[in-house]
Amino acid sequence: MIKHAYKGDTGKKIVVKFRTTRKRIEVVLEDTGKKTDPAELKGRDLEDVRPGGLGMHFIRKAFDVCELDPHRKKGNRLRLVLRLKEKDEDRDNGK
């Protein structure tokens, strides 16, 4: 997000919020930079070996939900959700 929304300016603010439950972890990243077109959120081909450009590939592999809020008027809000698998011991204990 820094590279694109803030054009590399590392002095700009990015808000990171976390919410957790027994079933999921949700991460929300917010900035006030240039709005990102969701169609542009694609990683490059993994066969194209060079530094950078793999963030979206790793995000989509790590999280079950990856969505950019299209209704945000200014800046960007990226919501990531990881669904947690139920542990066998929790299931056995009726949790």
**Positive or negative torsion for Cα 52, 53, 57, 63:** positive
25 in a structural domain: yes
Higher pLDDT, 19 or 59: 19
How far apart are alpha carbons 49 and 69 in whole angstroms? 30
Instruction: Identify whether 94 is part of a domain.
Output: no
What is the per-residue pLDDT for 64?
Answer: 97
- Say what the pTM is: 0.76
- Please tell me the predicted confidence (pLDDT) of residue 17: 97
What CATH number does the domain containing 6 carry?
A: 3.30.565.10
Q: Is residue 50 part of a domain?
A: yes
Question: Is 93 inside a domain boundary?
Answer: no
Q: What is the dihedral of CA 72, 2, 60, 19, to 10 degrees?
A: -60
pLDDT at 60 over 80: yes
Average pLDDT over residues 20-24: 96
Overall average pLDDT of the 12-17 stretch: 93
- Stronger pLDDT, 60 or 1, i.e. the higher one: 60
Number of domains forming the structure of the chain = 1
Residue 95 lies in a domain: no
Residue range(s) defining the domain that contains residue 25: 2-87
